[in-house]
Amino acid sequence: MSSIPESVVVPYFAGDSQIKSITRPVPAPGPGQLLLQVKANALCGSERPQFRDGSEVTPGHEAAGVVVATGPGTSTPVGATGAVFLMDFCGECRSCKKGFTNQCLAKRADMGFSHDGGYGVYELIHESIFFPVDPDYTATEATLLLDIMGTGGHSIRRANLVHTDIESIIVAGAGPIGLGVLAMAKIMLGQDIPVYIFDVVDYRLSLAEQLGGKPISVANGRTLEEGLKRYGVKEADIAIDTTGKRAAREASLHALAQRGSLMLVGHGEELHLTVSPDMIATERAVLGSEYFAYSELKANAAYLAKHRSYLNQIITHRFGVDEIQHAFELFFAGDTGKVIIEQ
């Protein structure tokens, strides 16, 4: 293992959609901490405000890398490869003790948002949020366990809490999270389950079809209702919104069957509904779905082992850190799947 420098040059999100460079010291791990040399970090739509407005910390919350130094009280060996769970959960609160680590009541950090994340060369984390993977996997593949499989799979598990006989799904948005929902629906519920996925970007709809989804374009005034009708259906059991847009949420809600559930994954705008017809008479449910619990990583790693080639299709672009400006511009233009910065 090469020696660790005292400082490194890392991307600096300066605001006005400009990424520059800055020199930062490399931290030493304290008790219970690991220092990772980041090898891959996936871009995410939730980083748009950081790209647009700037960030004092180094962004990047879908990181994977190699442990290069360990602090006292840790057991992970130097050289281990793994992924970083976004939320630095406390492990002691009521939520954590029940396994709801994505709902920790005393979070220490949101990596890449409150503390330096994965676009830097090194990332300092608590060992509790490191998930080791088989060394056969690349760090880029390990990032699939996070927002793609983790967030996507959690929304399916949440939906199953109130609808145990899911036979059809609508996904609002064919961005990386929507594609992750589609892929995890096929993996967890079966390849035969129809997944209707709508968006305005043809590139992403083509990728959704490649993954086994039934694409619906809502560009140029076309509607979800019209798109479903072309497939000979009017409604679905579950709708999962990844867009955060009011129009997409409401269209999805109105396309639900009786006992249907609307899962809200994408942060953003409001949802307007009329309680009696939309909720009570039809016994529909509206549920939030935030990231995923750390404990879900084990099951998802088993899914990745079985469906590696299938899931890798979601990654469409890879760039070096010196190309990060171009990577963000391309990603937010829309004609990509998951974009990875590799180091």
Whether residue 293 lies inside any domain: the answer is no
Q: In this predicted model, what pLDDT tens digit does every residue of 63-83 receive, in sequence order?
A: 999 999 999 999 999 999 999
The CATH number linked to 283 is 3.40.50.720
| Domain identity same for 201 and 226 | yes
Q: Which pLDDT score is estimated for 264?
A: 98
| Domain identity same for 104 and 202 | no
Q: Where are the alpha helices (DSSP H) in 60-149?
A: 94-97, 139-142
DSSP string, 120-145: SSEEEEEGGGEEE--TTS-HHHHGGG
| Domain identity same for 32 and 121 | yes
Q: Which pLDDT score is estimated for 332?
A: 97
Q: Which pLDDT score is estimated for 340?
A: 98
pLDDT average, residue stretch 274-285 = 97
| 243 CB-near residues (< 8 Å, 6+ apart) | 172, 173, 175, 178, 249, 266, 268
| Domain identity same for 76 and 22 | yes
Whether residue 302 lies inside any domain: the answer is no
Whether residue 40 lies inside any domain: the answer is yes
| Domain identity same for 163 and 283 | yes
| Domain identity same for 264 and 165 | yes
pLDDT average, residue stretch 224-234 = 98
Q: Which pLDDT score is estimated for 2?
A: 63
DSSP 309: H
Whether residue 307 lies inside any domain: the answer is no
| Domain identity same for 173 and 281 | yes
Domain span including residue 36:
7-145+315-342
pLDDT average, residue stretch 90-97 = 98
Q: Taking Cα atoms as reference points, which of 121, 112, 82, 134 lies closest to residue 294? A: 82
The CATH number linked to 49 is 3.90.180.10
**How many domains is the chain partitioned into structurally?**
2
| Domain identity same for 177 and 141 | no
DSSP string, 25-88: EPPPP-TTEEEEEEEEEE--GGGHHHHHH--SS---SSEEEEEEEE-TT--PPTT-EEEE-SEE
Residue 153 has pLDDT above 70, yes or no: yes
Q: Which backbone phi and psi does 88 adopt, to 5 degrees?
A: -80, 80
| Domain identity same for 132 and 194 | no
Distance CA 133, CA 111 (A): 19
Residue 1 has pLDDT above 80, yes or no: no
Q: Which pLDDT score is estimated for 275?
A: 97
| Domain identity same for 179 and 246 | yes
